Amino acid sequence: MYPVVCIDDLERSALARLDQNALGYYSSGADGEQTLRDNIAAFQRYRLRPRCMVDISTIDLTQTVLGHQVNMPIGVAPTAMQRMAHPEGECATARAAEQMGTIFTLSTISTSSIEQVAAAAPRATKWFQLYVLKDRAMTVRMVQRAERAGFSAIVLTVDAQLFGRRLADARNGFQMPPHLSMANFTEELKNTVKGSGEQASGINNFVQTLFDPSLTWDDLSWLCGVTRLPVLVKGVMTPEDAATAVDRGASGVIVSNHGGRQLDGCLATVDALGPVVAAVGHRCPVFMDGGVRRGTDALKALALGACMVFVGRPLLWGLAHDGERGARLALQLLHSELRLAMGLCGVTKVADVTEKVIEKSERSHL
């Protein structure tokens, strides 16, 4: 094995280690995967503007996010079922985020529970990603568990009322390995969902059984009323939805197309970011995930107005590569790349990153 010096190297290592079932689930996008590819390629449409003769002897990547100081404006996005990548799963990733001083977001459909992650990384800034369930009482209990466990924000995902059509999962007949479970749900519920038969534990069955497709903006207002934590809305791709989210009580929005896993053919997140920032950036923080693979990608998103970006698959690749050490390596690589890019653009603080750092290329070069 050659040395790992970038996220692409971690991905190659993960591809060699993961079985087909897990790899297909983690890496696939919806339908023809146009949006999956474009999330990454779209960053090439933006060019950085290097600046010279600036004192860059000290470059500060710290940022204050919802009252918490983080050491880098790159956090960990929620990704499901991380124990398929490594036995310690979400607990290992949370510890990596804790060590790097950044935000870790736990998925509702994780294979480590809210309480397990809290115990594994007690000093980490942790957010809990929530799907609203048909059973509202169960939804409230899950939010209360996150509050008790020290999570500091709820991330409401709003773009998955129906799950996207992921062809790799269909071809592989995706199944969660039998030794794993959806750790945030009770034993009684897990037994109800699994039922009997080979296909009963598939993710689509789980979603159709539990998740509520009737979700509306009224439910966001309801959620904001049942928790003391700030609620961020994840899955916003238009200025109209961003404005409505803030009107209904959201403390921030996350521009996201679910990693290209929901609606194929929609905008890349970095292309959707600017209009959302223009609409609500003066009212709340705007975050982004999708396609960030390099520190230069993160710098471009910050220049377009993101307060912080989140990465999902790079942490999975690191986790598959070497558990907690691999997840930490993914964050270290992105940290060092962002620091270098900021310095070469003559910027020494995250707060000083503005649209002057970039320009949009007339040619896509794709």
Catalytic residues: 258
Around 108, how many Cα atoms within 13 Å sit in the side-chain half-sphere?
Answer: 21
List the beta strands (DSSP E) in the chain.
46-48, 63-65, 68-70, 74-76, 103-106, 125-130, 153-157, 231-236, 252-255, 286-289, 308-311, 358-360
Return the SS3 of 207. Answer: helix
How far is residue 175's CA from residue 2's CA, in Å, rounded to a whole number? 32
Residues facing residue 81 across a β-bridge: none
Residues 6+ apart with CB under 8 A from 328: 95, 96, 99, 100, 318
**Beta-carbon count within 10 A of 112 CB:** 25
Is there a contact between 355 and 361 (Cβ–Cβ < 8 Å)? no
Output the 3-class SS for 18-83: CCHHHHHHHHCCCCCCHHHHHHHHHHHHEEECCCCCCCCCCCECCEEECCEEECCCEEECCCCCHH
